[in-house]
Amino acid sequence: MNTSTIAVQRISVISARPFNEVLARIEQNVGHPEMTRFRQAMTDAKTISEFEEVVGNATGPSGLMEFARYDLGAVVRKEGTPVTPRSVRLVVGNPVIMKEMVKRVPDAGSYAPVTILIDERPTGVHLSYDRMHSLLAPYGDAEASRIAVIRAISIFPKAT
Summarize pLDDT for 118-146 with one digit per residue, the tens. 999 999 999 999 999 899 999 999 999 88
Specify the amino acid at residue 118: I
Q: What is the pLDDT of residue 157?
A: 46
Please return the burial class of 7, using the count of CB atoms within 10 Å of its CB with bins 0-12, 13-18 and 19+: exposed
Count how many Cα atoms sit within 13 Å of the Cα of residue 39 in the half-sphere of its side chain.
3
Gap between the Cα atoms of 39 and 58, Å rounded: 11
Gap between the Cα atoms of 43 and 154, Å rounded: 29
Mean pLDDT of 92-119: 94
| pTM for this model (two decimals) | 0.88
Q: What is the pLDDT of residue 34?
A: 97
Give the strand pairing for 10-15 and 114-121.
unpaired
pLDDT at 155 over 70: no
Specify the amino acid at residue 27: E
Q: What is the pLDDT of residue 6?
A: 87
Confidence of residue 160 (pLDDT cuts 50, 70, 90): very low
> Do the beta carbons of residue 113 and residue 93 sit within 8 Å?
yes
Say which CATH class 10-31+62-150 falls into.
alpha beta
